[in-house]
Chain A
Amino acid sequence: MADEKKNVAVFLCRGCDIGASLDVEALEKVAAEERCVGLCRSHSFLCCDEGVAQIKEAVQSGVASLVIAGCSGRFHSQTFSFASCFVERVNLRELVVWSHEPHTEDTQMLAEDNLRMGIARALKAEIREPAKIAAQRTLLVVGGGPSGMAAAREASRAGYQVVLVEKQAELGGWLRSCKRQFPKNAPYRDLEAIDLESWILQLEGDPNIEIHRSAAIRSISGQPGQFEVELDVNDSTIRASVGAIVQATGWRPYDASRLGHLGYGRSPDVITNVEMESLVATGQIRCPSDGRPAKRIAFVQCAGSRDADHLPYCSAVCCRVSLKQALWARELDPEIEAYIFYKDIRTPAQYEDFYRRAQEDPGISLMKGDVISVTTAGGRGANAPQVNVENTPLGPSIQVEADLVVLATGMVPVAADGEAIRRVRDARAVIDRGQPGPQLDGARQLVTELGHHEGTDLLHLGYRQGPDLPVLPSGFPDSHFICFPYETRRTGIYAAGCMRAPNDIEGCISDAEGAVLKAIQCVELTSRGAALHPRWGDLSFLDFHMQRCTLCKRCTEECPFGSLDEDDKGTPLPNPGRCRRCGICLGACPERIISFGDYSIDVVSSMIKAVHIPDEFGEKPRLLILACENDALPALEAAGIARLRYSPFVRVIPVRCLGAVNVIWIADALACGFDGILLLGCKSGDDYQCHFIRGSELMGTRSENIRQKLVQLALEEQRVRIEQIALSEYHRLPALIDEFAAQIDDIGLNPFKG
């Protein structure tokens, strides 16, 4: 056994108030009591060169694991990182001396327990040889619009090979139909020409870029570093191996036929901004109905955008596009008057100047209001549409006549909902089997509800969780975009351009640059066997003890990143390259067969068991906090940095995600005599903050299991509580913890003590 070798070295730091607030000698004794500890030292400032030299010496002498007790592991992470040696950072600063009364028995006991837990983890954790993947330094770029072209260019500049796939016969996407653009340069006042051709020539002449036009993806299989791609190009099949994928499939205009109330389809003189773009490019703006020159052009902004019945979001460019088209039209014919009806004019950053430019044009009149309808005036053969606007500065209800009405429709992302496609396919399979029962009815209902997702596949991923990216209700790919833009819920596949979020051309280009850098980072890290965001550089990987697997499929279903496939029998097939190391499968597994080298059922259970639980006469309750290390743990530390005080009876164990908490740990803690357990995670729901998308949400659904476990043990349900906290809410924590402690006090101590 490892512990007999006494190869854990403990280093205690006395700096930052630790030595002044705690009895460090007593702590050294606690360490020395552990049989595995062969070396225990304290230093007044461990992070100084001398302290680090002492640790290095110990590492060279062959210790397998280090316990460094001092500040939070989020500080000095490089200073205290030693190759081939597991380092456990025990927090005595933020979580002990900065948040609890110094020189008290309870604070000292807290520090001692933290040290014991750290030693327990150091003893159990192992460093395994990382799962390196021979990665292809080639990127697949899906979509040849501005985003895809920029992605290809940037990847090539970075020395990567690119396979660029475009479904149309030409590159350029929507830019092809766009002859002039709103300004991209100071002073942001005048329309600019678009030089698409030289851009295409540049790509065509680039030896690193392989362009496939009129092409579609037949299938993608594998994992980051080793995606195998099959393309259908002109009746032939082309195969490519790529390391990562940038999806830049762009957008399509919102279906204007749903905007009948705005006159579309009812009058030929009501057109969309996309149609206006081609009309204005002809150099003569004539009414489609009778060919007479249009002298009064009304632009209806947010036509079907920022509207709960249509697109709930803003498409970012429509305001500038309408301003551009109005200016362009006025340039073609100064007789033209343009009326722009808007909810808000959104011209971000320097485009305010462009807005001013249009505003100053005497022939462009802008008005805020809600366009409720566009009607065609009857009588006298006049076909001129009338725009009906409410809540305007000119009155509660006004009408304005125009010769031509342009609807500024929004962008719909060209992305398929992989999860929905899969659910429809699974439901079809159930219907094909035809066994009568509630399952069959459910399947039929699902097919009616989600049937429109069939045949929308773009990437054709061979993933258990579906052939495309999971998307949000608005159709954009799901990810933790606030912290990790360009990420999707498929590792190694990055979203760029208007399929990620509505963007202008500049935005698409910078998106493409970001996505390419992400893709390159993915290939490089994958080749080293390291994890990507948010556990950047983590070399641990999942180990499945397959002999005990019951094929319950919970791991394959619940992985937020679709990293596990299944074979025909339903056996999980891990893909380490797709894994983000969140441990949600570890939390889900009822057989507890999934583990990381340094984070497993056994490691955390050992930490729980390492805590000294005072007997029932000591009147010292013990509360276990399983804190998500992404937000909840930093929040606890922030509370310490702010010197906020809370109950010293809590014992904090960081977990990779609230979803990575296995219910057995709760049972273990209660069996050990912990009086209450607080699970601290990130916010779930539509505006989730969970770094692993669904972890805290899954913990919510697993709470039923926990409740059953408590009932089984004849314990009160209130002993386990789940709380969601954002990093910025750290000031809430002391009250929250103390209130929980008071509640546990009311319930009484755990009868399983001792």
Chain B
Amino acid sequence: MPAPVLIKPDREFRNRLIASGGEDLKKCFQCATCSVVCEVSGASQPFPRKEMIWAQWGMKDRLLGDVDIWRCHQCNDCSQRCPRGARPGDVMAAIRREAILHYSAPRWLGNIVSQPRLLPLLLLVPCILLVLAAWARAPLETFLGGSYTPNRIIISYWSQLPQWLLIAFFAPFLSLVAVVMILGVMRFWRDLKARDREAGFIGQRRSLAASIRLAARSILLHEDFDRCTSEHSRMNSHRLVLFGFLGLIVVDLWVLTARFNPLLRGAFAYPFNFWSPWKILANLAGAAMLIGCTLMVRNLARAGRSGALFAGTWFDWMFLALALAAVLTGFACEILHYLRVDPFRYAAYIIHLATVFALLVLLPYSKFAHMIYRATAMVYAAHTGRQSQGGLRDSE
């Protein structure tokens, strides 16, 4: 018999879970139907039953360092089968929200994201910053050497916001985001290991490289989404959003690095013409994201009305709304720009930049962070030899 573990229930933590989507968590009476029906859970240390009682007893440390909350894709098979209506899938989502807010410093920024009334502020701040940047362009250019013009590439969209300024504006913030994320992932990884040591979990370990490969394949192929039975259509919307997002990231990286690329000529040079392969990729990716996000909104709204499977919380809605706003304003910019509708095309561009800014800066603090933590957790799960109920696909 191992030494007794002192349990100190954290009622604040539990109450936060209850307040942010886990309002039914107290209904669980530990029958384990959820763990049995979950296709992703493994045979050893199955979830989400254990997470449910940890949540009831406010066991913050166990939950935050729990790899399984991230293995859950909230397909809600468990919530549908739960005989008590405890909705384990939603509780897991609420726990993930707490984990994101816990690992992403600074905490106050996370708190802002979690409050609906501060959203206008979130959008207003980048708008003001961008306007300020546009206003400060001329003195800055003078300060930097008389008539600073970027070599080779001419920025013609809006001369007040040349690309060098945008890079100068975005880069520091994004670097900060990257630092926050890296620190968060490192703390998360440490906690995952600590939890396994505490629980005495020993699995058949894989190499890190193999684990990353396995996790990447699982993420790209949506293998876990595919196991879901009650909300299988979520696989399609998520696939569209994920691939659309990846496409846009690739195009953006290309554009951002373009000025340092000596090979860039012709159709590959920025700005692209409409039939440039990059432009086509960007438009397709944008369309994919638009369709995916719309499907997600429909899912959330439909479920919310009937009070059934998946109603979503502010945390879900805000991320989705920002992503959708970024795509919509992007397309609006493009169309207004082609039509040369002044001055709306400039306003649309500012708003687009503001939403993208908000989306990216809030990455560590919003539901967006699931991308990073879930990927980390899936690598960790593969690394420590955790397997799904189906098991076959990752048993190689």
Chain A residues packing against B (C-beta within 8 Å): 337, 339, 345, 356, 359-363, 365-368, 386, 388, 390, 393-401
Task: Annotate B35-56 by CB proximity to A: 1 below 8 A, 0 otherwise.
Answer: 0000000000000011001101
- B57 lies within 8 A of chain A by Cβ: yes
Whether B26 contacts A362 by the Cβ 8 Å rule is yes
- B124 to chain A: closest CB distance in Å? 36
Please pick, from A365, A396, A399, the residue contacting B2 in the complex, using a CB distance under 8 A: A396
- B6 lies within 8 A of chain A by Cβ: yes
> In the complex, A687→B309 CA distance in Å?
49
Whether B7 contacts A362 by the Cβ 8 Å rule is no
- Can you list 7 residue pairs at the A/B interface with Cβ under 8 Å? A356-B84, A359-B26, A361-B26, A366-B56, A393-B53, A399-B5, A400-B7
Q: How many residues of B contact A (CB 8 A)?
A: 25
Whether A397 contacts B59 by the Cβ 8 Å rule is no
- A175 to chain B: closest CB distance in Å? 31
| Contacts between chains A and B (CB distance < 8 A), count | 61
Known contacts A388-B4, A397-B5, A401-B8; decide if A362 and B14 are in contact (CB<8 Å): yes
Whether A396 contacts B1 by the Cβ 8 Å rule is yes
Whether A367 contacts B26 by the Cβ 8 Å rule is no
Interface of B, helix, strand, loop or mixed by DSSP: mixed
> In the complex, A639→B38 CA distance in Å?
49
Task: For A388, give the chain B residue with the smallest CB separation.
Answer: B4
Whether B26 contacts A360 by the Cβ 8 Å rule is yes
Given the complex, which residues of A lie within 8 Å of B26, measured CB to CB? 359-362
Known contacts A393-B49, A394-B53, A394-B57; decide if A399 and B30 are in contact (CB<8 Å): no
Known contacts A359-B27, A362-B26, A368-B30; decide if A394 and B14 are in contact (CB<8 Å): no
Given the complex, which residues of B lie within 8 Å of A366, measured CB to CB? 29, 56
Whether A398 contacts B4 by the Cβ 8 Å rule is yes
Whether B9 contacts A399 by the Cβ 8 Å rule is no
What would 17 more interface pairs be, CB under 8 Å, given A339-B9, A365-B57, A396-B2? A337-B9, A337-B11, A359-B29, A360-B27, A365-B56, A386-B6, A388-B4, A394-B7, A394-B53, A394-B54, A394-B59, A397-B1, A398-B4, A398-B5, A399-B5, A399-B7, A400-B7
Whether B27 contacts A367 by the Cβ 8 Å rule is no
Given the complex, which residues of B lie within 8 Å of A388, measured CB to CB? 4
Given the complex, which residues of B lie within 8 Å of A359, measured CB to CB? 26-27, 29
> In the complex, A337→B4 CA distance in Å?
22
Known contacts A361-B26, A362-B18; decide if A367 and B57 are in contact (CB<8 Å): yes
Given the complex, which residues of B lie within 8 Å of A394, measured CB to CB? 5, 7, 53-54, 57, 59
Task: For B56, give the chain A residue with the smallest CB separation.
Answer: A365
> In the complex, A361→B11 CA distance in Å?
12
Known contacts A337-B11, A365-B56, A394-B54; decide if A399 and B49 are in contact (CB<8 Å): no
> In the complex, A555→B395 CA distance in Å?
77
Task: Annotate B288-316 by CB proximity to A: 1 below 8 A, 0 otherwise.
Answer: 00000000000000000000000000000
Given the complex, which residues of B lie within 8 Å of A365, measured CB to CB? 9, 56-57
- B3 to chain A: closest CB distance in Å? 7
Task: For A355, give the chain B residue with the smallest CB separation.
Answer: B29
- B97 to chain A: closest CB distance in Å? 18
Task: For B199, give the chain A residue with the smallest CB separation.
Answer: A395
Given the complex, which residues of A lie within 8 Å of B1, measured CB to CB? 390, 396-397
Whether B30 contacts A393 by the Cβ 8 Å rule is yes
- A243 to chain B: closest CB distance in Å? 50
Whether A399 contacts B6 by the Cβ 8 Å rule is yes
Whether B27 contacts A399 by the Cβ 8 Å rule is no
Given the complex, which residues of A lie within 8 Å of B27, measured CB to CB? 356, 359-360
> In the complex, A449→B129 CA distance in Å?
92
Task: For A386, give the chain B residue with the smallest CB separation.
Answer: B6
Interface of A, helix, strand, loop or mixed by DSSP: strand
> In the complex, A360→B26 CA distance in Å?
5
Task: For B86, give the chain A residue with the smallest CB separation.
Answer: A359
Given the complex, which residues of A lie within 8 Å of B8, measured CB to CB? 401
Given the complex, which residues of B lie within 8 Å of A393, measured CB to CB? 30, 49-50, 53
Whether A397 contacts B2 by the Cβ 8 Å rule is yes
- B149 lies within 8 A of chain A by Cβ: no
Residue in B7, B9, B57, B59 with the greatest tally of chain A CB atoms within 10 Å: B7
- B15 lies within 8 A of chain A by Cβ: yes
> In the complex, A368→B30 CA distance in Å?
9
Which of chain B's residues 40-84 have a Cβ closer than 8 Å to chain A? 49-50, 53-54, 56-57, 59, 84
> In the complex, A360→B23 CA distance in Å?
9
Given the complex, which residues of A lie within 8 Å of B2, measured CB to CB? 395-397
Given the complex, which residues of B lie within 8 Å of A339, measured CB to CB? 9
Given the complex, which residues of A lie within 8 Å of B49, measured CB to CB? 393
> In the complex, A184→B29 CA distance in Å?
24
Q: Which 3 A-B pairs have the closest CB atoms?
A: A397-B4, A393-B53, A399-B4
Task: Annotate B78-118 by CB proximity to A: 1 below 8 A, 0 otherwise.
Answer: 00000010000000000000000000000000000000000
Given the complex, which residues of B lie within 8 Å of A398, measured CB to CB? 4-7
Given the complex, which residues of A lie within 8 Å of B54, measured CB to CB? 394
Task: For A395, give the chain B residue with the smallest CB separation.
Answer: B5
- A296 to chain B: closest CB distance in Å? 9
Task: For B25, give the chain A residue with the smallest CB separation.
Answer: A362
> In the complex, A362→B57 CA distance in Å?
10
> In the complex, A556→B27 CA distance in Å?
59
- A376 to chain B: closest CB distance in Å? 14
Whether A367 contacts B4 by the Cβ 8 Å rule is no
Given the complex, which residues of A lie within 8 Å of B53, measured CB to CB? 367, 393-394
> In the complex, A386→B4 CA distance in Å?
11
- B161 to chain A: closest CB distance in Å? 50
- A537 to chain B: closest CB distance in Å? 49
- B60 to chain A: closest CB distance in Å? 13
Residue in B2, B50, B56, B59 with the greatest tally of chain A CB atoms within 10 Å: B56
> In the complex, A87→B350 CA distance in Å?
107
Given the complex, which residues of B lie within 8 Å of A401, measured CB to CB? 6, 8
Given the complex, which residues of A lie within 8 Å of B9, measured CB to CB? 337, 339, 365, 400
- B391 to chain A: closest CB distance in Å? 24
> In the complex, A367→B53 CA distance in Å?
8
Task: For A358, give the chain B residue with the smallest CB separation.
Answer: B26
Given the complex, which residues of B lie within 8 Å of A400, measured CB to CB? 6-7, 9
> In the complex, A367→B7 CA distance in Å?
12
> In the complex, A399→B84 CA distance in Å?
28
Given the complex, which residues of A lie within 8 Å of B3, measured CB to CB? 397
Please pick, from A362, A386, A390, A397, the residue contacting B15 in the complex, using a CB distance under 8 A: A362
Task: Annotate B263-293 by CB proximity to A: 1 below 8 A, 0 otherwise.
Answer: 0000000000000000000000000000000
